[in-house]
Amino acid sequence: MKKTTLFFVALSISIAGLFAQNRVAQPVSLPTNDIIPSERTCATMDMISQEELDAFQEWLEPQVQAYLQSQQQSGNPEVVYTIPTIVHIIHNSNEGIGSGRNLSNARIQSQINILNNDFRKTNSDIGSVPSMFAGITADSEINFCLIQTYPTGHPNAGQALPEPGVDRVDATTIGGGIANTTTGYSTSQIDGTIKPATSWNPNQVLNIWVMQLQGGLLGYAQFPNSGNANTDGVAIGYQYFGNNPSANPFHLGRTTTHELGHYFGLRHIWGDQNCGNDFVADTPTQQTSSSGCPNHPRPTCGNTGDNFQNYMDYTNDACMFMFTNGQKAVMQGILNPSTGANRRKTLNAASATLCAAAPLTANFTASATTITAGQTITFTNTSGGPNPITSNSWNFDVTSQGGVSPSTSSVASPGAVTYNNAGTYSVSLLVGDGTNTDSEIKNSYITVLPPGGVICNDITNYSGTASLLGSGGTGAFGWISGHNNFDDRAKADKFPAPAPGLFVNSVELQFAKKHAGTSGSTITVNVWNANGTGGIPGTLLGSQTVAVSSLNLYPTPTQVTFASPIAVTGAYYVGITFSANTGNSTQDSVALITNADGETNPGTAWERWNDNSWHAYSETPASWGLNMSHSISVELCNTATGVNELVKELPISIFPNPAKDIVNVILPSTENNEISVYNVLGEVVYQNNNPTSNKISINLSNQPNGVYFIKAKSGNQLITKKLMLTK
């Protein structure tokens, strides 16, 4: 069910009717060139509706008053907030660090220095403030730090960044039609694709995107309590970020200061209207924006002089150098950890961890973790720390099984390592920086099969317990098209990136209902990458067409094997699609079973609507608002010769995986079957050489957590699948 709901920020419903004319948020269209403009441009106020602004102001006023009252109480100290910051450098694929859009670390650090000076009133030009405003200049008591470790939600959470506070992104890797540019990106490209694909946890870090903007635009910000989480932050033209003499008159980094003022809730000083209101008491009302470097005083709107020296005006960088006490009160109210704005009030708390120097940490990855005897693996050293690493000690055969060449190494990047014998190998790395050491051991990390061997493991998002396996076809369903009244076109589940060396070989699905409108009715089982806009299904990597009439219904699964194993290098989606049934009275229809709400948290189920837009089941308010997974199991196999033919002849199902104690195995027939379970030491922990049923329930409650291998034999065919036991 899809819900259609009008969205307003809290409180806006009660006041929206008071305004006859509202600003409509829309992408900004600018000339496509890269010339430094003569006057400042900012798109922030064009990216937010009047309703949102009005609601924000009504919410903000009590926060500001609370801050002012707290400062009037004796003994109540000022609060200094620290903002953990990540700078996403979006650059062309042929630009090395320090070239073109791929800014140097020195340029990035210069901008952080500028921000800390501007927001702490330590800027060298603060003395240029006219005497009439000297009494209201503010130390906003906001500091900025480049984060040292990855925030929560990132795959490397807790680990040290190679470059503190810097995330360099090759534009050609973003997807969604983003490519190298010479003319810059539009705001619709940035908010629709670039930001969602590269955003880091906005509850813990300030996201700053630095890239080439379409000509004439210096930058823009997302106002507090507005917009989506994955677009929250500021976007700055790369020419105007940091100290850059060639960008004169916007060469001193004040564009970022200005946009962060918006990020912390400040409006333009002229209120974006003729003699408008910026809702700050100590900034004089002025007629319109300023440009260049006006002569002081310049009275307008009945004041004794415009405060065009303010960071929230449009003057040149060299002519803006102050915030006011009233503006400080707004920003402090926004950052208040108890009552502040969403995705702002939590930033300071995160700084204690993210801004601290990361400890020395050993870590590594492997080019493949499942191979056949005689193949090689390349290990990548991903260790890091506050000081340069001076020593490395690798052991590629911790348990001394033999047949590994080389078995040890003392270089940072050891090159190819050959595993000649079948078995399961642990790998370790010890690193040192001259003072401290740290080690990482990955137990049972490498699986080596005999030549020509096949190993597969099943990955599922659903639990495989009561709500699914006990539903008998009467539980929750994921309908697609046809008789469901919603005309959905596709269902899919999102899966994490597989271990290196594994391919998607087959998919197993549980259907509750099916209806073939014609004898030729089909569905398509698809694998997509996750590189679509905002991480939705992107490029189709592989598919297999299946007749609706051939689908099995619960409890018998439907297994679909792809003609060729499908390579996936990152997160991916697996699901089903077919076209709409417009004008067809005998409509096709299928129902893919899901588990119950909350059994998968966060949910992994997605659907594509009839307008071809993708939506997560967990999405609110537009979609279901439910945390669910479809009953889709993905079989990942190594690339050994003959894997497809073998799996086609010997399709077996294992669920759940990971398992707690009971694992279920379904074999294709009841005759000539053997099944056994081995631990990583090669010891048999379960064996049944003559099962009487093709459905076997194995109790492993007396076995410890870890990796196990289920070997199934049917006739002359043998296949091995990996099982994780987690209690």
pLDDT of amino acid 213: 96
- What is the enclosing helix (H) or strand (E) of 332? helix 325-335
pLDDT of residue 372 exceeding 90, the answer is: no
Work out whether strand 81-91 and strand 206-211 pair parallel, antiparallel, or are unpaired.
Answer: parallel
Of these residues, 51, 52, 259, 508, which one is catalytic? 259
Catalytic, 95? Answer: no
- The residues facing 544 across adjacent strands are 525
639 touches 706 (CB < 8 A): no
pLDDT of amino acid 16: 24
Cβ of 485: how many Cβ atoms within 10 Å?
8
More confident residue, 350 or 49: 350
488 touches 479 (CB < 8 A): yes
What is the CA angle 109-114-118, rounded to 5?
150
In this structure, what token pair is assigned to residue 11?
Answer: 């409180």
More confident residue, 651 or 305: 305
Q: What is the pLDDT of residues 419-477, one digit of tens each?
A: 998 888 999 999 999 999 999 999 989 988 777 656 677 788 875 543 443 334 344 45
Q: Where are the beta strands (DSSP E) in 135-231?
A: 142-146, 166-170, 206-211, 219-221
> Phi and psi of 160, rounded to 5°?
-75, 140
pLDDT of amino acid 468: 47
Q: What is the pLDDT of residues 496-544, one digit of tens each?
A: 888 777 889 889 888 888 888 788 888 999 999 988 776 789 899 999 9
Lowest mean pLDDT among 276-285, 309-318, 673-682: 673-682
477 touches 488 (CB < 8 A): no
pTM across the whole model? 0.60
Residue range 599-616: mean pLDDT, rounded = 80
Q: What is the pLDDT of residues 90-129, one digit of tens each?
A: 999 899 999 999 999 999 999 999 999 999 999 999 999 9
pLDDT of amino acid 357: 85
pLDDT of residue 412 exceeding 80, the answer is: yes
pLDDT of residue 18 exceeding 70, the answer is: no
Cβ of 382: how many Cβ atoms within 10 Å?
16
User: Which domains, and CATH codes, for the chain?
Assistant: 16-24+31-268+323-354 (3.40.390.10), 364-449 (2.60.40.10), 455-641 (2.60.120), 650-727 (2.60.40.1930)
The span from the CA of 611 to the CA of 608, in Å, is 8
pLDDT of amino acid 8: 21
pLDDT of residue 48 exceeding 80, the answer is: yes
Mean pLDDT across the chain, nearest whole number? 83
Distance, C-alpha 320 to centroid of its chain: 36
The span from the CA of 161 to the CA of 177, in Å, is 28
Q: What are the helix (H) ranges across 176-240?
A: 187-189, 195-198
Residue 608: band (very low, low, confident or very high) from pLDDT cuts 50, 70, 90:
confident
More confident residue, 560 or 5: 560
pLDDT of residue 624 exceeding 80, the answer is: no
